[in-house]
C-alpha cells in the first residue's frame, strides 16, 4: 500500500474548504476519465483577488487532500498568482503521490482553471453561466 506524507494525510483527514459557494463568480467541473469521479471548484472574487475557494468531489483521498491544499493556497491571490501556485503545487505534490494517483490531483488544477475561465468570461460579458450544475447528476 502506498505511503503518503504527513501533510497530505492531514489534509485528507481534515479537509479545508469543502462545500459550495453561494452565487460564485466561477465554477469549474471536471471528471477523472480513469475512475469516473467528479470534481467541482467554486471561486468568489473581490477586487481582483480570490476571496473564497471551495470544492466538492466524489473523488478519493488524494483528490480531497490536494484540493484542500490548493484551495488554501489560492485564497487572497490574484488569478495570475493562483494559476502559478496551482502549477507549483502540482509539481510539489506529484513528487509525493504514486503514479496512479496523478489524475486525482490534476482534477483540482483543471477544475480551478475552468472556474477562472468562467470568471474571466463573465468579466468580459461573453458568458452568463458556465460549468455545470451538480443537480444534473441527481437521479429522479
Q: SS3 for 40?
A: strand
Alpha-carbon radius of gyration of the chain: 15
Least separation in angstroms between residue 64's CB and ligand FES is 9
Nearer to ligand FES, 57 or 86 (CB): 57
Q: How many CB atoms lie within 10 A of CB 90?
A: 17
Q: How many CB atoms lie within 10 A of CB 23?
A: 6
**H helical segments located in the chain:** 6-13, 61-74, 79-94, 102-124
- Select the span of 12-20, 60-68, 75-83, 120-128 touching ligand FES (CB under 6 A): 60-68
The yes or no reply on residue 60 touching ligand FES (CB under 6 A) is: yes
- Select the span of 16-24, 43-51, 58-66, 84-92 touching ligand FES (CB under 6 A): 58-66
Report the interface residues with ligand FES, using CB under 6 A. 32, 35, 37, 59-60, 62-63, 104, 107
Amino acid at each position: 500500500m502506498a505511503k503518503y506524507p504527513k501533510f497530505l494525510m492531514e489534509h485528507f483527514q481534515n479537509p479545508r474548504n469543502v462545500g459550495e459557494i453561494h452565487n460564485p463568480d466561477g465554477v469549474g467541473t471536471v471528471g477523472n476519465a480513469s475512475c469516473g469521479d467528479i470534481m467541482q471548484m467554486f471561486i468568489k472574487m473581490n477586487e481582483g483577488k480570490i476571496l473564497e475557494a471551495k470544492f466538492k468531489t466524489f473523488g478519493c483521498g488524494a483528490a480531497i487532500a490536494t484540493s484542500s491544499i490548493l484551495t488554501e493556497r489560492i485564497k487572497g491571490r490574484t488569478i495570475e498568482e493562483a494559476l502559478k501556485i496551482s502549477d507549483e503545487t502540482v509539481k510539489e505534490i506529484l513528487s509525493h503521490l504514486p503514479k496512479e494517483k496523478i489524475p486525482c490531483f490534476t482534477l483540482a488544477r483543471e477544475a480551478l482553471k475552468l472556474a477562472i475561465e468562467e470568471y474571466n468570461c463573465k468579466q468580459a460579458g461573453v458568458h452568463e453561466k458556465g460549468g455545470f450544475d451538480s443537480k444534473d447528476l441527481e437521479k429522479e
